[in-house]
Amino acid sequence: AARANPGIVPSVRANRAFLGRAVEHLVAGGVRQFLDIGTGIPAADNTHEVAQRAAPASRIVYVDNDPVVL
């Protein structure tokens, strides 16, 4: 995929960085429950990892319609 679309790697990294910033911002605002819709294949710094690093009591539900993912 990266060979066919060279711009995909920076886009994927930017997407993952945004996820981290968004979850950190929500945790800082007191949010402790997260619903991650369209999860996809697990990667580094998933929602639960970011949230629970800052607030261990955080709870996360992952939802996807792909049986391979779930």
CB 4 within 8 A of CB 28: no
What pLDDT, on a 0 to 100 scale, did the predictor assign at position 48? 97
CB 41 within 8 A of CB 69: yes
What pLDDT, on a 0 to 100 scale, did the predictor assign at position 43? 84
What pLDDT, on a 0 to 100 scale, did the predictor assign at position 21? 98
- Residue spans of the chain under pLDDT 50: none
* Distance between CA atoms of residues 45 and 64, nearest Å: 18
| Three-class DSSP category at 8 | helix
- What pTM was estimated for this model as a whole? 0.85
What pLDDT, on a 0 to 100 scale, did the predictor assign at position 58? 99
What pLDDT, on a 0 to 100 scale, did the predictor assign at position 41? 87
